């Protein structure tokens, strides 16, 4: 169990640029979640995958955001035309779902700063 | 919509003492799951303890225990024999598990716990 891995750890970019983050879940985990955490707040749900299928998207996920999980393995989260308000920590979590109480394992996150 | 409220932005405890962190939530569901997560500075969020709503017995994990009051929609975390390594942000979370919302967590704003030597 190598844990959930996220890359990069930090990303600084200019407003209007596109950015892409990667998440590698724990290998046998079938569910993968993306959350966003702003300063002084708890994480907020963005989207989740069951294997390769994206099953739910939050209202926070505007049309500038897109997420993929090809082949049900790693996932990418892309933000197009970044805005100041996109500055946040983006967290990825994974779990192996059989029954509802399975905990989500979180990665270290990617901190995005928009200049 | 479900909400999670942590009314204590910051708490402080003396090493070896006991501290209780508060959490209340709002839901119309009868079956759900509650979690406490710990987030040390610049480190991963890790699970501390979890509680199934259908279980009346309060969950315990070593020095960590919860006081789950379902009718009052309260889920407090008690840390006994506090250690310096317990210093972190603590988040209470509610798990959505119905309809199309399956598994995502709703978090409170967190409580920052400081441990004094």
pLDDT in tens, A4-31: 999 999 999 999 999 999 999 999 899 9
Residue in A44, A55, A103 nearest the CB of B35: A103
Question: Which pLDDT does position A99 carry in this prediction?
Answer: 61
Question: Which pLDDT does position B68 carry in this prediction?
Answer: 96
**Checking DSSP bridges between strand A53-57 and strand A88-95, what pairing results, if any?**
unpaired
Scanning every residue of chain A, which has its alpha carbon at the shortest distance from the alpha carbon of B92?
A42
Question: Which pLDDT does position B74 carry in this prediction?
Answer: 97
Question: Which pLDDT does position A102 carry in this prediction?
Answer: 79
| pLDDT category of residue A44 using cuts at 50, 70 and 90 | very high
| B16 at interface of A, judged by CB pairs closer than 8 A | no
> Which of these ranges, A46-55, A72-81, B99-108, has the smallest mean pLDDT?
B99-108
Contacts with A97 from chain B: Cβ below 8 Å: 103
Among A44, A99, A10, smallest CA distance to B2 is for: A44
How far is CA B39 from its chain centroid? 12
Scanning every residue of chain A, which has its alpha carbon at the shortest distance from the alpha carbon of B101?
A56
Contacts with A100 from chain B: Cβ below 8 Å: 33, 95, 97, 103
pLDDT at A53 over 60: yes
- Per the prediction, chain A carries an average pLDDT of 92
Question: Which pLDDT does position B8 carry in this prediction?
Answer: 97
- Residue by residue, DSSP assigns A83-113 as -GGG-EEEEEEEE--SSTTPPPEE---EEEE
pLDDT beneath 70: ranges in chain B: 98-102
Chain A: nearest CA to B116, how far in angstroms?
22
Q: What is the pLDDT of residues A90-112, one digit of tens each?
A: 999 999 876 656 789 999 999 99
B14's enclosing H/E stretch is: strand B10-14
What CA–CA distance (Å, rounded) separates A6 from A35? 12
What CA–CA distance (Å, rounded) separates A98 from A83? 38
| A36 CB-contact burial (10 Å; exposed 0-12 / middle 13-18 / buried 19+) | buried
| A99 at interface of B, judged by CB pairs closer than 8 A | no
Residue in B44, B47, B108 nearest the CB of A103: B47
Question: Which pLDDT does position A23 carry in this prediction?
Answer: 98
More confident residue, A74 or B97: A74
Residue in A55, A104, A109 nearest the CB of B105: A104
């Amino acid at each position: 169990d190598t844990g959930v891995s996220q890359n990069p750890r930090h990303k600084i970019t200019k407003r209007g640029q596109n950015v892409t983050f990667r998440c590698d879940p724990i290998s046998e985990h079938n569910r993968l979640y993306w959350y966003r955490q702003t300063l002084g707040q708890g994480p907020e749900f963005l989207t989740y995958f069951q294997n390769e299928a994206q099953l739910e998207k939050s209202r926070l996920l505007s049309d500038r955001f897109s997420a993929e999980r090809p082949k049900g393995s790693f996932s990418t989260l892309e933000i197009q035309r970044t805005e100041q308000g996109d500055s946040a920590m983006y967290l990825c979590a994974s779990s192996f779902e059989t029954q509802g109480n399975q905990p989500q394992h979180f990665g270290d996150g990617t901190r995005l700063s928009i200049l | 919509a479900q909400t999670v409220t942590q009314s204590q932005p910051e708490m402080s405890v003396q090493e070896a003492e006991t501290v209780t962190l508060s959490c209340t939530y709002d839901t119309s569901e009868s079956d759900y799951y509650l979690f406490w997560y710990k987030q040390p500075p610049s480190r991963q969020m890790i699970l501390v303890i979890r509680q199934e709503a259908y279980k009346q017995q309060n969950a315990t994990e070593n020095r960590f225990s919860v006081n789950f009051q379902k009718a009052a929609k309260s889920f407090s975390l008690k840390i006994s024999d506090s250690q310096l390594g317990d210093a972190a942000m603590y988040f209470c979370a509610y798990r959505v598990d119905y309809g199309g919302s399956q598994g995502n967590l709703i978090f409170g704003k967190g409580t920052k716990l400081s441990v004094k030597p």
